[in-house]
Amino acid sequence: MKADADNGSERTPARRSQKEATRQRVLAAARELFDTHGYQGTTIREIARHAGVAVGSVFTTFASKGEILSEVMQSRLDRLYGELDRVMPHLRGSTADRLRTMFAIHFNFEAPNVRLFLSHIAAAYDWTLPPTARPYGRTPRLQEIILECLDKGVHQGDVRPEARLQDIVDLLMSAYAWTYRLVVTEGADAKRLTEVMDRQIGLIAEGFQPR
């Protein structure tokens, strides 16, 4: 067996290429650092040190910090959307209540690593972000889920058929994102975030219900 030359503490499986191993180490280190120090407080240099790889080898795998975060979030979100795909078809009740459940799942999912999510939002404004990155607001899946939810509401009669659904989707998306400001300003937990979002959904629902 060949000893790992650069890092004795971690042995890479023979088949996995060195590059893939580096990539996974970088992603794990980045996830931890973004969650602790936020997006702006984390540098590529620190990610490299934390991952035990050379700064240069981070750059051979990722173009920028934004791309690293984008990858970290993507793999997390795949799990979240998997869960939602299982749950959503079975939800009953009013459109507002289905939306509440859907967002509560989001908050519970993000709360344990909430700074990671804040990083995700902050990254949307990063100058070095490549066009391929998907910061918050450019993840189409959440929009689709909300739209399906509202569509169902039109069929069950508690969403006005002539309402511009995309506007409502956008309002809900922005209410969801901006609710996270309570984490920055008052250290809110998942319960508090859900409670505030529930009230906001109620208020938006008044705007889409048939008159």
Partner 1 sequence: MKHISPTQVAAESPVRAPTRRALAKQQTRQKVLAAARRLFAEQGYEGATIRDIAAAAGMSTGAVFANFTDKSDLFREIMTADCEALLDAMREAAGKGRNVEEALLKVFMAGYGFYKSRLPLARAAFGVSWSPDGGPTLRGLGPVQGMSELFAEQLNLAVERGELRQEAEVKLRSQMLFDAYLSNYVQAIFEGWSLEALQARARDQIRILLAGARRG
Alpha helix segments (H runs only) across the chain:
18-37, 44-51, 55-61, 65-87, 95-110, 114-122, 140-156, 165-179, 181-186, 190-208
Residue among 22 and 194 whose Cβ is closer to partner 1 = 194
Residue among 27 and 201 whose Cβ is closer to partner 1 = 201
Residue among 9 and 186 whose Cβ is closer to partner 1 = 186
- To partner 1, the closest distance from the beta carbon of 209 in angstroms equals 8
Q: How many residues does the chain have?
A: 211
Residue type at position 105: I
Question: Which residue from 136, 149, 15, 1 is spatially nearest to 72, judged by alpha carbons?
Answer: 136
Residue among 71 and 180 whose Cβ is closer to partner 1 = 180
Q: Where do we find the tokens 């889409």?
A: 208
- To partner 1, the closest distance from the beta carbon of 170 in angstroms equals 8
Per CB under 8 A, residues contacting partner 1 are 37-41, 115, 118, 121-122, 124-128, 137, 164, 167-168, 170-171, 173-175, 177-178, 181, 184-185, 199-200, 203-204, 206-208
- To partner 1, the closest distance from the beta carbon of 149 in angstroms equals 16
- To partner 1, the closest distance from the beta carbon of 10 in angstroms equals 30
**Which residues have CB under 8 Å from 24's CB, separation 6+?**
none
